Amino acid sequence: MRLHLPVRNLRGIAAALAGLAGITLACSAWLGVTNPTIAALSYLLVVLLAAAFSALWVAIASSVLAVLLLNYFFLPPVGTWTIADPQNWVALFVLLVVSVVASNLSSAVRSRAREATARRDEMSRLFDLSRDILLTTESRDAHLQLARAIARRFDLQYAAICLPGPPRWRIHEAGEGRFALPPDQLEAVLAAARSALEGEGRERVYSGRQTIHGGENPPVDLVPLRLAGRQMGLLAVAGRTIEVGTLDALAGVAAIAVERVQFLEERKTVELERRSAELKSALLASLAHDLRTPLTAIRVAASNLQAGWASDEERQAQSEIVLAEVERLNRLFQNILDMARIETSGVTAAREWVTPAEIVEAAISQVQHTLAHHRVSVNAEDEGLVEVDPRLTSAALAHLLENAAQYSPRGATISIDASAATRGLAIVVDDQGPGMPAEDLPHLFERFFRGRAATGRSAGAGMGLAISRGLLAAEGGSVRGENRSGGGARFSIDVPAAVRPVVTEPAE
């Protein structure tokens, strides 16, 4: 059996032996001291120093050696182990007792100092862990992040947050080691913890802790995660001995973290439900508002068509009103369908080779009734081909044209500039409207957002720009809005795509 001694203790016993030997030589050979009291106090000083800076056994060994040296070199008859005067026995015994008691007291003080330092370090670790918990978000790996924080802050080889099912235990492990935690043992520990809520008065912690021994692997301590009398799961730690009070406090902090993650997830769910309810309310309000006007117009026009006093020209005008409002309703329902497809990621791109002019022509044809009272200026390239989805791109452009017509005065010009740029398709739509307030710019493409400029207007549910962005995003494109320096708004479409020139067949 080999005895492993700390280097500090070896140095301590060597220093004590050297000190005792030095005092013996100095007093007996060099200074010629014959008073045993001086030698005893000198020896006692060395023993106290050994007790202050080394282990208890070093101080006791030094005490015994000091008594032997005092007897041999300073108590008559000198140079023998015989003690002639019985009073010297008392002196030796008192020296030994004082040395041992002083060594014991010094060792106890150092032990308490080390314990206080360890508790301070553990409190610092708990504080750092609490800070890590406050920074934990409601991400899916929040429990794994908690286990990693515990293993890192407490220098553990293994840490795991064990949460019961259904249907089975969810174990989030961290650390360098990996240990098998049988579900039946976890169930037994949790069941025992639920039936043992009494506190251990001596340790000032709750009972219920158990240790799993796995052969060659170090033991794993299992501590219940308790919060407000509820057992939420188990904390498993291994690789380092942690004081039981600190371990119980660590489990309490971990239980608070688990509860916080649950609260964050519930809050996220409630927030999603609230936003969903707001979107539904906004959609219903917009639909109710936007359906009322065209249905009223269609009903009035249909009544006028049935009137006997209406001339052919008046009937033609009423028919055009019906067609325009039906087209408006069709656009509204198409917007709702597009929004639903975008929300469910049901939009897919099918790229084809087309010219920018064809994209602009298809978009204008979709909103020709809306553009009927505006001048449209088109500058579209027809000599270059771009590989885009013509259906998605033209539909997105149609929404921008509809938005420009809605906010431009009657008879104003809407300019369209489309070209096959180096990186793909580039389209710019300029209108002569009032422009957009600065506070509305960050929210232009949000669902159901209608800025201050929309106040008092009858049309628009706030879906067009959001649909335009969603359709372009499906093919990797983007759209942005800004105010023009000369007045009005400008919307720019960029769709990354391959570009090539139009190949014309030679005439026969």
Q: What is the pLDDT of residues 141-199, one digit of tens each?
A: 888 888 888 888 888 888 888 888 888 888 888 888 778 788 888 888 888 777 655 55
CB 17 within 8 A of CB 50: no
Instruction: Report, as ranges of residue numbers, the positions in the chain whose pLDDT lies below 70.
Output: 1-9, 12, 29-34, 55-56, 81-92, 95-96, 99, 137-140, 195-208, 214-216, 276, 278-293, 308, 331-332, 334-346, 448, 450-462, 503-508
Q: Answer yes or no: is 436 within a domain.
A: yes
The full length of the chain comes to 508
Kind plus residue range of the DSSP H or E element containing 73: helix 56-73
Q: What is the pLDDT of residue 340?
A: 65
Q: What is the pLDDT of residue 457?
A: 52
Domain check: are 104 and 146 in the same one?
no
Domain count, the chain: 3
Q: Answer yes or no: is 280 within a domain.
A: no
Q: What is the pLDDT of residue 1?
A: 37
CB 190 within 8 A of CB 233: yes
- Distances in whole angstroms, Cα of residue 66 to Cα of each of 42, 77, 316: 10, 17, 128
Q: What is the pLDDT of residue 397?
A: 92
- Burial, 325: exposed, middle or buried (Cβ in 10 Å; 0-12, 13-18, 19+)? buried
Domain check: are 394 and 489 in the same one?
yes
167, 168, 172, 176: CA torsion to nearest 10: -150
Domain check: are 78 and 172 in the same one?
no
User: For strand 230-238 and strand 158-163, is the pairing parallel, antiparallel, or unpaired?
Assistant: antiparallel
Domain check: are 370 and 490 in the same one?
yes
Q: Answer yes or no: is 307 within a domain.
A: no
Domain check: are 201 and 255 in the same one?
yes
CB 318 within 8 A of CB 310: yes
Domain check: are 478 and 346 in the same one?
yes
Q: What is the pLDDT of residue 67?
A: 75
Residue ranges making up the domain that contains 35? 7-123
Boundary (domain end) residue, out of 266, 291, 314? 266
Q: Answer yes or no: is 36 within a domain.
A: yes
Q: What is the pLDDT of residue 494?
A: 93
Domain check: are 86 and 211 in the same one?
no
Q: What is the pLDDT of residue 146?
A: 86
Which tens digit of pLDDT belongs to each residue from 134-147? Answer: 777 666 688 888 88
What's the CATH number where 239 sits? Answer: 3.30.450.40
Q: How far apart are CA 458 and CA 232, in angstroms?
A: 55
Q: For residues 191-221, b (16+ Cβ closer than 10 Å) or e, as one string?
A: ebbeeeeeeeeeeebbebbbebeeeebeebb
Boundary (domain end) residue, out of 62, 95, 123? 123
